[in-house]
A and B are shown apart, each in its own frame.
Chain A
Amino acid sequence: MQADKRPVFLNLLQIRMPVTALMSILHRVTGVVLILLLPFFLYWLQRSVMSPDGFIQARSIFYDLPGQIVLFLLAWVLLHHLLAGLRYLLIDLDIGVERYVANCSAAAVMILAPVVALLAVLVL
């Protein structure tokens, strides 16, 4: 685990981004965001089981407009990571490895994530 001196080029703003690359880096970013959201999830879970007030509060944090927007963003983050992850699992099983299919599935993930997130928020 020696830190070596070989050149590293990780400037995201300069690396060319096909749709697969964009989807991939977002998969990583959403992953980190989800980790940081863990304490909030546990906090509200605890709040919801500790008192009748906490239970009611936990059920209604997303009721108002700002709450709906937050819910949409959370759903988008989760769905992007999940759908991209499913795409990677399928690729692990040699499904969708060809370039054209891979490009299509990456675009599909990028589009489906916010669309399904929006649908989920509107329906609930």
Chain B
Amino acid sequence: MNRQASGLRAWLLQRISAIVIFGGLSIFAIKLLFLPPQTLFEWRSWLAMPLVSVLLMLLVLGLLLHAWVGIRDVVIDYVSSLEYRVFVLACFAVFLVAMGLWCLQIVMSL
């Protein structure tokens, strides 16, 4: 994970994931603001559409990668003790993976 997220790769990953997030968020925002679902059935049906489900998962995946690169920078800047830094990074890594799996669970329950 360290090699993958270092230097130029991390920089590029953060920019690309930012664009993915921006695109995905815009689509969901437009849907919720201008074509909001009126019933639970409408909402679940729309979310269950493969295109929408995949878009949601892409959005969350982008969010997790973007968040990881970001939070890693923050932790490296402010946590100087090596052992504690590894611990904090591990906590955030587990947290972000858990968020991704939770999103997957939500999508699979549709």
B-binding residues in A (CB < 8 A): 1-3, 8, 10, 28, 31-32, 34-35, 38-39, 42, 45-46, 48-52, 54-55, 59, 82, 85, 89, 92, 124
B47 within 8 A of A: yes
The majority secondary structure among interface residues of chain A is helix
| New A-B pairs, 15, CB < 8 Å, besides A32-B70, A32-B71, A124-B33 | A1-B2, A2-B82, A3-B82, A8-B80, A28-B70, A35-B70, A38-B67, A42-B99, A46-B106, A49-B40, A52-B39, A52-B40, A55-B39, A85-B18, A89-B15
Interface string of B27-49 (1 = CB under 8 A from A): 00000010010011001100100
Chain B residues closer than 8 Å to A92, beta-carbon distance: 15
A-binding residues in B (CB < 8 A): 2, 15, 18, 22, 33, 36, 39-40, 43-44, 47, 63, 67, 70-71, 74, 77-78, 80-82, 85, 92, 96, 99, 102-103, 106, 109-110
Who on chain A is nearest to B40 by CB? A55
Interface pairs A-B: 4 shortest CB-CB:
A55-B40, A3-B82, A35-B67, A52-B40
| B74 & A48 in contact (Cβ 8 Å cutoff) | no
Chain A residues closer than 8 Å to B110, beta-carbon distance: 49
In the assembled complex, the Cα of A47 lies from the Cα of B22 at a distance in Å of: 24
Who on chain B is nearest to A39 by CB? B99
In the assembled complex, the Cα of A93 lies from the Cα of B90 at a distance in Å of: 33
Name 30 interchain pairs, CB-CB below 8 A, sorted by A.
A1-B2, A3-B80, A3-B81, A10-B77, A10-B78, A28-B70, A28-B74, A31-B67, A31-B74, A32-B71, A32-B74, A35-B67, A35-B92, A35-B96, A38-B63, A39-B102, A42-B102, A42-B106, A45-B106, A48-B40, A48-B43, A49-B40, A49-B47, A49-B109, A55-B40, A55-B43, A59-B36, A82-B22, A89-B15, A92-B15
